């Protein structure tokens, strides 16, 4: 019923002139076409789909005159056409005519019945003539004319009429418009054809379509047993469609779609050519599974049903989401249903999928992913060459990496007299190195061993044991400074060790020039028996800070002891020896003084006694000379000279004995 209702809608659209939705009910229509050879074919749809009780009268109108061609047209009146029908069609026409005349069919069912019969009349010329919806007028003389169809009541009186467009028997009516925009796409179900409805011409409306296929050999076959009724007429939507369910596979084909008018005339074809690949040849094989083995995975699948599947490509990834890499890039034979992936790492998850390949080497979509985790055939080898490097706060273990794919290594430790091994690695370490952080003050002896762990959790036997004696890292207590003295140009520090004194092996002296300065170690380490340190490399007047650090036999240093400060005082400044004087007249009168070089760190100053002024410096500080001259001695009979030493901080020692220069 759904299909016939659709056909009814299509016919309504034709009668309504392909108007938009909401148009008035169809008024009926009368169409006329000429073959150009003197024959005019007529087809009509009753007004409002109401069948007149008295049938129809048909007239030809030409030159302002009308001529009756048939006084009465109705179901079963064309005996020649009735005889050409099969018994079933003749019976249906006879039944319809009786029921229409008697009014036994309800209105809705009558409209549906008339529509369905009218569609059959459009498909079948003899059926249309026998039903009373077709007529053929042969008039070789030609000339333009139109036709009038008059509906008659039971008493033969006119009720309504339909008039055709003008037509000329000597001029062929143009063929219907061809479909537009034909597209052919190869899909899994077959070849899908879609096209746009042609532009409608109410003089020759397109009623349906025919589909034809031409294969690579040139053979043609009509794919539509009956024409396809037009759909969505007048809507502008590209809704013509047809699916070739049994197209030739892996070959080229050309499809042609023809428009059909109400008289069965074909339009010029709209063609589309394509290569029809067997889409099913690329369908992924079903039942794809992966079974884990010893360092290998067995893959199995069901063969593809398509005879055009040329092979299979197996892909593998280490992640479910990919990327996947082909393992069989050249493809496996199409009759293969299994394959083994060998030389795999035990404990590793492998993800597989498979694709089908067609004769052109194209690959289809992948199958669902199958996962397998193979095992190793044997446990990993024992790690070798275990070594231990003992540090102050850790024991560093190293060993040779095993030549086997492993997840890592487990490290075990045995304390002396402990009785059992303890695991030091919460998870396998990936590299052949492990630091056992024992802390700063841990002492004693440990034994270590290492084993390799594969990805499938198989573990090797432990390596050979290695012993590690921890270092003494306990520092002695800081020493104490008991006294500090900075007189005489040097610093003397007295100190004592803190108990236990037997832990001390030596002392280090730290000196700084500011209270917040960490300072530097000066001098060589002092033996444990020493309690006094003398620092002579100091500057007079400079303030210094001193600290002592105790060192044990293992080299552990204490924290610096409490610091003490001191300012360096001057050492005693000696008195110089009496200078030698030489009075000379050339080139002028002067006194030349000769003296010894002053001691290290001191300078000599020459003083001259002046009457009323006392002793006055004759020169500045002299360090590297042994002579000086008074070029302008006072004009008096005798002049006194003496020397004094001056330290760097300005301190002056006792003067030398006086030397007298007498002038004549």
User: Does residue 190 sit in the same domain as residue 330?
Assistant: no
pLDDT class for 7, splitting at 50, 70, 90? very low
Beta bridge partners of 491: 535
pLDDT-above-90 percentage for the chain: 60
Please check whether residue 575 lies inside any domain of the structure: no
Higher pLDDT, 142 or 582: 582
Instruction: Return the H-helix or E-strand segment holding 91.
Output: helix 87-102
Residue 102 tokens, joined: 């008697």
Q: Give me the pLDDT at residue 8, please.
A: 44
Cα 93 to Cα 75: distance, rounded to the nearest angstrom: 6
Please check whether residue 351 lies inside any domain of the structure: yes
Q: In terms of C-beta density within 10 A (0-12 exposed, 13-18 middle, 19 or more buried), how is residue 219 classed?
A: exposed
Cα 45 to Cα 395: distance, rounded to the nearest angstrom: 106
User: Does residue 8 sit in the same domain as residue 146?
Assistant: yes
Q: Which DSSP letter does residue 603 get?
A: E
Asked whether residue 580 carries a pLDDT value surpassing 50, the answer given is: yes
Q: Give me the pLDDT at residue 139, please.
A: 83
Cα 98 to Cα 47: distance, rounded to the nearest angstrom: 20
pLDDT class for 2, splitting at 50, 70, 90? very low
User: Does residue 423 sit in the same domain as residue 527?
Assistant: no
Q: Give me the pLDDT at residue 15, please.
A: 47
List the single range of 316-325, 384-393, 567-576 with lowest mean pLDDT: 567-576
DSSP letter for each residue of 517-570 = ---EEEEEEEETT--EEEE-S--TT-EEEEEEEEE-TT-PBPPP---EEEEPPP
User: Does residue 130 sit in the same domain as residue 15?
Assistant: yes
Q: Give me the pLDDT at residue 229, please.
A: 85
Q: Give me the pLDDT at residue 106, please.
A: 66
Please check whether residue 426 lies inside any domain of the structure: yes
Asked whether residue 255 carries a pLDDT value surpassing 80, the answer given is: yes
Residue 76 tokens, joined: 């079963």
Asked whether residue 34 carries a pLDDT value surpassing 70, the answer given is: yes
Pick from 487, 645, 488, 655: which is nearest to 572 by CA? 488
- pLDDT tens, residue by residue, 553-573: 988 899 999 999 999 888 888
Q: Give me the pLDDT at residue 539, please.
A: 87
Average pLDDT over residues 616-644: 90
> Hey, is 417 helix, strand or coil?
coil
Asked whether residue 369 carries a pLDDT value surpassing 90, the answer given is: yes
Q: Which residue has the tokens 């030739």?
A: 248
pLDDT class for 39, splitting at 50, 70, 90? very high
Higher pLDDT, 50 or 46: 46
Pick from 304, 295, 373: which is nearest to 341 by CA? 295
User: Does residue 198 sit in the same domain as residue 158?
Assistant: no
Asked whether residue 48 carries a pLDDT value surpassing 80, the answer given is: no
pLDDT class for 9, splitting at 50, 70, 90? very low
Please check whether residue 348 lies inside any domain of the structure: yes
Structural domain ending residue among the three candidates 242, 276, 310:
276
Cα 212 to Cα 231: distance, rounded to the nearest angstrom: 19
User: Does residue 95 sit in the same domain as residue 186?
Assistant: no
Average pLDDT over residues 283-295: 95
- Cβ neighbours, 10 Å, residue 591: 21
User: Does residue 605 sit in the same domain as residue 511?
Assistant: no
Report the domain count for the chain. Answer: 6
Q: Give me the pLDDT at residue 23, please.
A: 37
Cα 59 to Cα 340: distance, rounded to the nearest angstrom: 86
Asked whether residue 12 carries a pLDDT value surpassing 50, the answer given is: no
Global pTM reads: 0.52
Q: Give me the pLDDT at residue 1, please.
A: 34
Please check whether residue 173 lies inside any domain of the structure: no
Average pLDDT over residues 236-243: 75
Asked whether residue 107 carries a pLDDT value surpassing 80, the answer given is: no
Average pLDDT over residues 450-467: 95
pLDDT class for 301, splitting at 50, 70, 90? very high
* Alpha-carbon distance values, 185 to 272, 485, 546 (Å): 10, 109, 98
Structural domain for 154, as ranges: 2-163
CB-based contact 343:295 (threshold 8 Å): yes
> Hey, is 350 helix, strand or coil?
strand
Residue 289 tokens, joined: 């599974």
CA angle 566–570–573, rounded 5-degree value: 165
**Packing angle, helices 2-15 and 107-123, rounded to 10:** 80
Residues in the chain: 664
Average pLDDT over residues 295-303: 96
Mean pLDDT across the chain, nearest whole number? Answer: 88
CB-based contact 233:18 (threshold 8 Å): yes
CB-based contact 12:151 (threshold 8 Å): no
Pick from 497, 489, 486: which is nearest to 545 by CA? 486
Domain harbouring 329, CATH code = 2.60.40.10
Q: Give me the pLDDT at residue 607, please.
A: 92
User: Does residue 85 sit in the same domain as residue 142?
Assistant: yes
Asked whether residue 467 carries a pLDDT value surpassing 80, the answer given is: yes
pLDDT class for 97, splitting at 50, 70, 90? low
- pLDDT tens, residue by residue, 333-359: 999 999 999 999 999 999 999 999 999
Asked whether residue 438 carries a pLDDT value surpassing 50, the answer given is: yes
DSSP letter for each residue of 192-233 = EEEEEPPPP-TTS-EEEEEEEEE-TTS-EEE--SSPEEP-ST
Instruction: Give CA 237 to chain center in angstroms.
Output: 41
Q: What share of the chain is helix, strand, coil (3-state, %, to 5)?
A: 10, 40, 50
User: Does residue 393 sit in the same domain as residue 344?
Assistant: no
**Packing angle, helices 87-102 and 107-123, rounded to 10:** 150
Instruction: Return the H-helix or E-strand segment holding 43.
Output: strand 39-45
Pick from 353, 365, 309, 316: which is nearest to 333 by CA? 309
Q: Which residue has the tokens 């006094």?
A: 532
Give, rounded to a whole angstrom, the gap between the first and last alpha carbons of the chain.
Answer: 167
pLDDT class for 105, splitting at 50, 70, 90? low
Beta bridge partners of 611: none
Cα 150 to Cα 44: distance, rounded to the nearest angstrom: 11
Q: Which residue has the tokens 């034979």?
A: 333
Beta bridge partners of 398: 387, 433
Asked whether residue 620 carries a pLDDT value surpassing 70, the answer given is: yes
pLDDT class for 6, splitting at 50, 70, 90? very low
User: Does residue 491 sit in the same domain as residue 522?
Assistant: yes
> Hey, is 88 helix, strand or coil?
helix
Higher pLDDT, 312 or 637: 312
Please check whether residue 436 lies inside any domain of the structure: yes
Please check whether residue 377 lies inside any domain of the structure: no
Structural domain ending residue among the three candidates 112, 133, 163:
163
Cα 207 to Cα 14: distance, rounded to the nearest angstrom: 8
> Hey, is 398 helix, strand or coil?
strand
Cα 30 to Cα 46: distance, rounded to the nearest angstrom: 9
Half-sphere exposure of 337 (CA within 13 A, CB side): 7
Cα 27 to Cα 42: distance, rounded to the nearest angstrom: 17
- pLDDT tens, residue by residue, 374-388: 999 999 999 999 999
User: Does residue 512 sit in the same domain as residue 531?
Assistant: yes
pLDDT class for 227, splitting at 50, 70, 90? confident
User: Does residue 245 sit in the same domain as residue 348?
Assistant: no
Structural domain ending residue among the three candidates 135, 163, 191:
163
Please check whether residue 172 lies inside any domain of the structure: no
């Amino acid at each position: 019923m759904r299909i016939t209702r659709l056909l009814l809608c299509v016919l309504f659209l034709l009668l309504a002139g392909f108007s938009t939705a909401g148009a008035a009910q169809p008024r009926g229509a009368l169409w006329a076409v000429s073959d150009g050879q003197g024959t005019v074919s007529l087809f009509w749809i009753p007004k409002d789909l109401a069948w007149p009780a008295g049938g129809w009268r048909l007239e030809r109108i030409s030159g302002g005159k009308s001529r009756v061609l048939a006084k009465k047209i109705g179901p079963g009146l064309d005996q020649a056409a009735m005889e050409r029908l099969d018994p079933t069609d003749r019976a249906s026409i006879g039944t319809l005519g009786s029921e229409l005349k008697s009014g036994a069919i309800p209105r809705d069912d009558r409209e549906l019945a008339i529509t369905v019969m009218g569609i059959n009349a459009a498909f079948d010329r003899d059926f249309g003539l026998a039903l009373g919806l077709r007529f053929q007028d042969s008039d070789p003389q030609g000339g333009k004319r139109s036709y009038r169809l008059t509906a008659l009541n039971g008493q033969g009186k006119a009720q309504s009429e339909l008039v055709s467009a003008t037509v000329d028997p000597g001029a062929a009516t143009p063929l219907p418009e061809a479909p537009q925009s034909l597209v052919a796409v190869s899909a899994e179900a077959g070849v899908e054809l879609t096209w746009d409805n042609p532009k409608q011409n109410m003089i020759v409306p397109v009623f349906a379509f025919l589909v034809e296929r031409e294969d690579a050999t040139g053979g043609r076959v009509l794919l539509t047993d009956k024409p396809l009724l037009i759909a969505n007429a007048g809507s502008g939507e590209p809704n013509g469609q047809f699916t070739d369910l049994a197209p030739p596979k892996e070959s080229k084909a050309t499809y042609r779609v023809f428009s059909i008018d109400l008289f069965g005339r074909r339009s010029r074809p709209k063609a589309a050519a394509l290569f029809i690949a067997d889409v099913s040849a690329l369908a992924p094989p079903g039942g794809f599974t992966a079974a884990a083995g010893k360092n290998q995975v067995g893959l199995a699948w069901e063969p593809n049903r398509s005879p055009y599947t040329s092979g299979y490509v197996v892909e593998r990834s280490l992640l479910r989401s990919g990327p996947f890499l082909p393992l069989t890039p050249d493809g496996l034979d199409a009759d293969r249903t299994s394959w083994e992936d060998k030389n795999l790492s035990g404990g590793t998850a492998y993800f597989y999928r498979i694709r089908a390949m067609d004769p052109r080497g194209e690959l289809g979509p992948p199958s669902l992913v199958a996962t397998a985790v193979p095992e190793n055939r044997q446990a990993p080898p024992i790690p070798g060459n275990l070594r231990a490097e003992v540090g102050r706060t850790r024991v560093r273990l190293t060993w040779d990496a095993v030549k086997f794919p492993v997840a890592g290594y487990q490290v075990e430790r045995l304390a002396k007299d402990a009785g059992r091994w303890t695991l030091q690695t919460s998870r396998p370490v990936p590299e052949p190195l492990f630091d056992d952080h024992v802390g700063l003050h841990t002492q004693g002896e440990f034994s270590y061993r290492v084993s390799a762990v594969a990805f499938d959790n198989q573990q090797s036997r432990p390596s050979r044991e290695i012993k590690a004696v921890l270092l003494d890292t306990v520092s002695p207590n800081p020493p104490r400074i008991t006294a500090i003295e900075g007189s005489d140009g040097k610093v003397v520090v007295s100190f004592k060790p803190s108990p236990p004194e037997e832990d001390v092996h030596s002392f280090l002296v730290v000196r700084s020039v500011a209270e917040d300065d960490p300072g530097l170690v000066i001098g060589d380490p002092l033996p444990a028996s020493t309690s006094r340190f003398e620092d002579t490399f100091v500057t007079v007047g400079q303030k210094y800070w001193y600290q002592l650090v105790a060192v044990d036999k293992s080299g552990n240093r204490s924290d610096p002891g409490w610091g003490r400060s001191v300012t360096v005082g001057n050492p005693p400044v000696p008195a110089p020896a009496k200078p030698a004087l030489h009075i000379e007249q050339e080139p002028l009168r002067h006194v030349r003084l000769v003296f010894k070089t002053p001691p290290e760190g001191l300078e000599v100053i020459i003083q001259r006694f002046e009457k009323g002024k006392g002793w006055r410096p004759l020169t500045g500080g002299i360090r590297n000379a042994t002579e000086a001259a008074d070029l302008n001695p006072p004009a008096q009979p005798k002049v006194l000279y003496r020397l004094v030493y001056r330290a760097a901080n300005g301190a002056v020692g006792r003067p030398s004995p006086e030397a007298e220069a007498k002038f004549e």
